[in-house]
Amino acid sequence: MSAPPVRRQTSMSARPVDGGPEFPPQPLTGWREILIHLSLLAARISTAHSPWIHGALRMSTNLHASPPDMTLVAEQVKRLARGLGFDLVGIAPAARSPRESYIRQWISSGRAGQMTYLADRIEERIDPAAFLPGARTIICVAMNYFAPLAAPDARQAAGKVARYALGADYHELIKPKLYAIADWLREAVPGTRTKCGVDTAPILEREHAARGGIGWVGKNTCLINERIGSWLLLGSVLTTADLAVDEPSTDRCGTCTRCIDACPTAAIVEPYQLDASKCISYLTIEHSGDIAEPLRGKMQHWLFGCDICQDVCPWNGRAPGTEIPELKPRLPAGTLNVDEVLAWSKDDFDRTFRHTAVKRIRLPVLQRNARIVKEQRPRISTTDREQE
């Protein structure tokens, strides 16, 4: 099935905006603007972004013409997305994945580990039109979650938590914003249908985001943007609207192999190919049951997730800090005392990780990881001293 013909923008939509809208914003008039305003309020937007939001609400009269100007609609969608707090936004064609054979082989070869659910809706993942009949384009958004961390207390047996899980649960943060974009689009283009996703829908978010110009998929399989790096939370709005799409990003990894060389478990088996069953992030979150050697002995100090391949990426060397208050780390050093974790009750776990991504796993899994960290601490300390 060939991709439908698409309109293409002449400029890169993922670039940062140089200036905000003029002030004061025009008052809301008409039922369309009121509905849009209500959807934005439902998104629980930080007041820090209110100037951008008001600018997004200033609708052009051409937007409501029949038929609507789809290039103008695309630009308004991007303005709205930025006003909602997304750092990057691009629009990609809702085309069938050119990597279909690789994806099917990746799953059948066992590289997905215990994530058997990935095969359940494989046709929908490969073909957006199977997920949303009539789909034409995908609005791809990304939010920077990077924040510098304090040095951990050397006196504690500290286990590390991946940066994306240190703030508020990104699902709870991003979903309402995607719904606001979808609501706006359905009002702007009557008859439009939409489906939203924040890594739980059968949408190949990184692949589509790369086609939408947000960044490229790096050798560690993370999406990388030249300005922000790979510290990105992704979301998407699949739509039947035939929006103008952006130019795809260009791979800029070059000859660098730092991520491949740094992975303790050799999970990046080749450039751009990840064996998830070996990945520390998978092992600490998705894998149930015991973790056998030799992987167990290579997990180092990670309690939840892993950032090693991102920490060593040169594109992350100058990553700006997030401006979203909800994404600021609740654990300043990004660590937990594993002795305390091992003593926790379920109530302790629920209270500590309420409204965070860590609640995805159960306490017994976190305590399993804590025991592994505690086992490895002497080995890690010895290795560090030898390297010094």
- The closest alpha carbon to 123, from 113, 132, 114, belongs to 132
Catalytic member of 87, 199, 261, 339:
199
- The closest alpha carbon to 9, from 186, 194, 211, belongs to 211
The Cα 82–Cα 153 span in angstroms is 38
Instruction: List CB contacts of 105: < 8 A, sequence separation 6 or more.
Output: none
Instruction: Check if the beta carbon of residue 74 is closer than 8 Å to that of residue 8.
Output: no
Q: What share of the chain is helix, strand, coil (3-state, %, to 5)?
A: 40, 15, 45
For 341-368, give one letter per residue: b (16+ CB within 10 A) or e.
Answer: beebeeeebeebbeebbbeebebebbbb
Instruction: Check if the beta carbon of residue 256 is closer than 8 Å to that of residue 312.
Output: no
Element (H, E) at 59: none
- Token look-up 């013909």 returns 5
Element (H, E) at 335: strand 335-337
**339 catalytic, yes or no?**
no
- The closest alpha carbon to 89, from 52, 124, 59, belongs to 52
Angle 50-57/31-42 helices, nearest 10 degrees? 150
The Cα 269–Cα 271 span in angstroms is 7
Query: Helix H segments across 312-362?
Result: 338-343, 346-353
The Cα 182–Cα 141 span in angstroms is 13
- Token look-up 């090693």 returns 308
- Catalytic residue list: 199
